Amino acid sequence: MIIVLKDRITDEEVKNVKNYIIKTGARIHESEGTEKKILGIIGDKRDLDQMALEAFPGVEKVIRILEPYKLTSRKFHPKSTIVEVKDARVGDLEPVLMAGPCSVETEEQITDIAREMSGKGVKILRGGVFKPRSSPYSFQGMGETGAKWISAAAKQYNMSVVSEVMEISDIDVLYDYIDIFQIGARNMQNFKLLKAIGKTNKPVFLKRGISATLNEFLMSAEYILSEGNEQVILCERGIRTFVQYTRNTFDLNIVPMIKNVSHLPIVIDPSHATGRTDLIIPITLGGLAAGADGVMVEVHPKPYEAFSDGNQSLNYAQMNDLLNAWGIIRESVLKLRQQKFEEIEKNVSNYTR
């Protein structure tokens, strides 16, 4: 439920409305529209009477929200969220590039990739050190040693680091080495991990589960926001379908759909979405044209020697090709983004009318 307050509501009137809500045990999420104040109500609302709320002095209208997600909903929070990571702004006009190996392998490997990627304008370096592998016999990641290497490499080239945590104890291990915590597809519904990450003060990169619906995806983000951490970046990384020629199926629909229903930024991961190097460029372009706020791509100097996911990693020359292709459509995409931003801005100010 959302309560839109009148322009000239007094402090006393606000207090009365809030007290009424708090008495039912529900939580209040306050949000300033451009003109008016909005109270979002979260929790069990069985005791809340819409008619009674509308009768309070100072209340303009009460809107029922049917979606189960609240804090992640654009209705609760009409303005788009921009997640700041050093000088990168995920969710702002310019889509953000994130690149790096699937796994951090050696100090030389990650330092070389950091140098190459920073030279190409990539601001966020990815690299897993705790690896969720489908087989227990596959490379499991370098752990804290790898975290030290990626942190040093990023520092040397003035980049930020995103790396995955697989369990709660990984949070403390990685905390000082990374700038963004990644929650992988397999852990999207690890609710204890989501709650723990929600208590931290670093941005979170939440990947969509392989068979997660839009509601499930946003409810997982809701877990993080409801613990107080609002810096969540969503990631579409492909879902499991009957299609067998690619590792997963990239769900392009979800990119504009998320923009419609949520204020959180959404980034695409064409590497995991396709599992094929040759599809990374077209899928990146499609996703960015559809409104994605950034792209995360796997890159390796010698993909054929990679410890993991070499078959979906670009080499440096292919990364150049991707950037060139992006350069061809960039101006047009930025124009479309600007239009969309203005539309949202208009909705924000119309919202409370």
Q: Where does this chain bind ligand PEP (CB under 6 A)? A: 102, 128, 132, 184-186, 207, 237, 272
Closest-approach residue to Mn ion (CB): 102
Candidate list 270, 309, 319, 333; residue touching Mn ion; CB under 5 A:
309
Tell me how far, at minimum, the Cβ of 337 lies from ligand PEP, in Å: 25
DSSP-assigned beta bridge partners for residue 90: 83
Choice between 21 and 314, CB closer to Mn ion: 314
With H, G, I as helix, E, B as strand and everything else as coil, classify residue 254: helix
Nearer to Mn ion, 102 or 125 (CB): 102
User: Taking the chain, what is the end-to-end CA distance rounded to the nearest angstrom?
Assistant: 17
CB 272 within 8 A of CB 284: no
Is 17 or 299 the residue whose CB approaches ligand PEP more closely?
299
Q: Which residues contact 68 (CB under 8 A, 6 or more apart)?
A: 215, 219, 222
> Looking at the chain, which runs of residues are DSSP E strands?
2-5, 27-32, 37-42, 59-63, 83-85, 88-90, 96-100, 124-126, 160-164, 180-183, 204-207, 232-236, 266-268, 294-298
The residue (of 58 and 269) whose beta carbon lies closer to ligand PEP is 269
Q: Select 80 or 182, whichever has its Cβ closest to ligand PEP.
A: 182
Least Å distance between CB 69 and ligand PEP? 21
Per-residue contact flags (x/-) with Mn ion for residues 77 to 116, judged by CB under 5 A: -------------------------x--------------
Q: Name the segment binding Mn ion (CB under 5 A); options: 77-85, 157-165, 181-189, 305-313.
A: 305-313
In the list ligand PEP, Mn ion, none, the entry touching 132 (Cβ below 5 to 8 angstroms by class) is ligand PEP
- How far apart CA 192 and CA 174 sit, in angstroms, is 17
The identity of residue 211, as a single letter, is: S
Asked whether the beta carbons of 112 and 128 are under 8 A apart, the reply is no
CA distance 118 to 101: 14
Whose CB is nearest to ligand PEP? 184
Nearer to ligand PEP, 188 or 285 (CB): 188
266: its two tokens: 């959404």
Q: Does 222 bind Mn ion (CB under 5 A)?
A: no
Q: Shortest Cβ distance from residue 312 to Mn ion (Å)?
A: 7
Query: What number of residues does the chain have?
Result: 353
Least gap, CB of 271 to Mn ion (angstroms): 6
Gap between the Cα atoms of 32 and 38, Å rounded: 6
Residues that bind Mn ion (CB under 5 A): 102, 309
